[in-house]
């Protein structure tokens, strides 16, 4: 009987030692690290895909132009020529998110943005067009050539300031992203869009005082930043003269 009790106690002892050994292995540093790695592997999210810039953008960067938000990230960009919702009815750009200017013009635009926000903290500049390749200029010219509208599009043989990255089409939006009422849409071909005819249009009731005030606000911040007004389009501003651009910059093909 004593022998049986000793044998029984011995077996129980063996079983207890075996259980402890298994627990130590399960909780060893190696097994814990493997467990952590497994947990990490299941919680790591896949990074979002990187969207490559269009070829046209890369070419302008190669020529030394910079994205308009390089100096001020608050500037907004929506390019109508990247859709068919423009006067040509054609898609002319590969992307509506990237707009380029010469570095000096980009600095001037950032200054205009800062001036605007000092006066109206909830307002932002919205770029509608900037540097424009000559190939796109040719497509535009082909549409208006031989019509009364040709005064609104530069002849590609003579080039225009957009073709050097020295002009910008722009408006103002509020904190909801809604454009201020400027009296006409962008790329409106008519006297109502011409700054030189504003007082006449006001007297004739074709423009309101509020619409003129909105235009004057845009011109004020752009002119104070060094941009020149174009008297046929309220949205168009030049960073320099065409003569200066031709002597200083290369045309964008």
Q: What is the pLDDT of residues 95-110, one digit of tens each?
A: 888 999 999 999 999 9
pLDDT at position 49 is: 52
* 232, part of any domain: yes
Indicate whether 26 pLDDT > 50: no
What element of type H or E holds 141?
helix 134-144
* 49, part of any domain: no
pLDDT at position 152 is: 85
Q: Measure the CA–CA gap between 135 and 34, rounded to whole angstroms.
A: 59
* 48, part of any domain: no
Give the residue with greater pLDDT, 139 vs 10.
139
* 71, part of any domain: yes
**253, 169 contact by CB (below 8 A):** no
Number of folded domains that form the chain: 2
Indicate whether 121 pLDDT > 60: yes
Distance of CA 211 to the CA centre of its chain: 26
* Same structural domain, 185 and 228: yes
Indicate whether 31 pLDDT > 70: no
pLDDT tens-digit series, residues 189-239 = 999 999 999 999 999 999 999 999 999 999 999 999 999 999 999 999 999
* Same structural domain, 186 and 226: yes
Q: Measure the CA–CA gap between 137 and 232, rounded to whole angstroms.
A: 18
Q: What is the mean pLDDT of the chain?
A: 85
Averaged pLDDT, 41-65:
71
- Contacts by 91-94, CB closer than 8 A, 24 or more apart: 92/136, 92/139, 92/140, 93/54, 93/56, 93/136, 94/54, 94/55, 94/56, 94/57
* 114, part of any domain: yes
**What proportion of the chain, given as a percentage, has pLDDT over 90?**
71
Q: Measure the CA–CA gap between 210 and 36, rounded to whole angstroms.
A: 64
pLDDT at position 83 is: 93
* 167, part of any domain: yes
Residue 8 lies in domain: 2-43
Averaged pLDDT, 237-246:
97
């Amino acid at each position: 009987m004593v022998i049986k009790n000793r044998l029984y106690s011995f077996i129980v002892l063996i079983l207890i030692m075996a259980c402890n050994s298994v627990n130590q292995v399960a909780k060893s540093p190696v097994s814990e690290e493997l467990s952590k790695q497994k947990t990490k592997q299941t919680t790591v999210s896949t990074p979002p895909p990187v969207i490559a810039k269009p070829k046209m953008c890369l070419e302008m960067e190669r020529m030394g132009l910079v994205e308009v938000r390089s100096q001020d990230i608050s500037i907004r960009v929506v390019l109508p020529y990247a859709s068919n919702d423009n006067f040509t009815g054609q898609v002319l750009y590969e992307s509506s998110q990237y707009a380029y200017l010469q570095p000096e013009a980009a600095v001037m635009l950032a200054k205009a943005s800062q001036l605007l926000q000092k006066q109206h903290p909830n307002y932002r500049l919205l770029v509608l067009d900037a540097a424009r390749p000559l190939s796109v200029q040719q497509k535009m010219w082909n549409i208006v050539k031989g019509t009364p509208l040709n005064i609104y599009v530069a002849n590609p043989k003579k080039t225009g300031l957009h073709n050097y990255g020295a002009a910008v089409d722009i408006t103002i939006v509020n904190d909801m992203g809604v454009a201020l009422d400027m009296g006409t849409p962008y790329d409106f071909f008519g006297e109502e869009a011409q700054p030189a005819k504003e007082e006449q249009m006001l007297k004739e009731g074709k423009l309101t005082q509020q619409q003129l005030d909105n235009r004057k606000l845009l011109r004020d911040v752009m002119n104070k930043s060094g941009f020149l007004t174009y008297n046929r389009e309220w949205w168009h501003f030049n960073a320099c003269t065409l003569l200066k651009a031709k002597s200083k910059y290369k045309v964008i093909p």
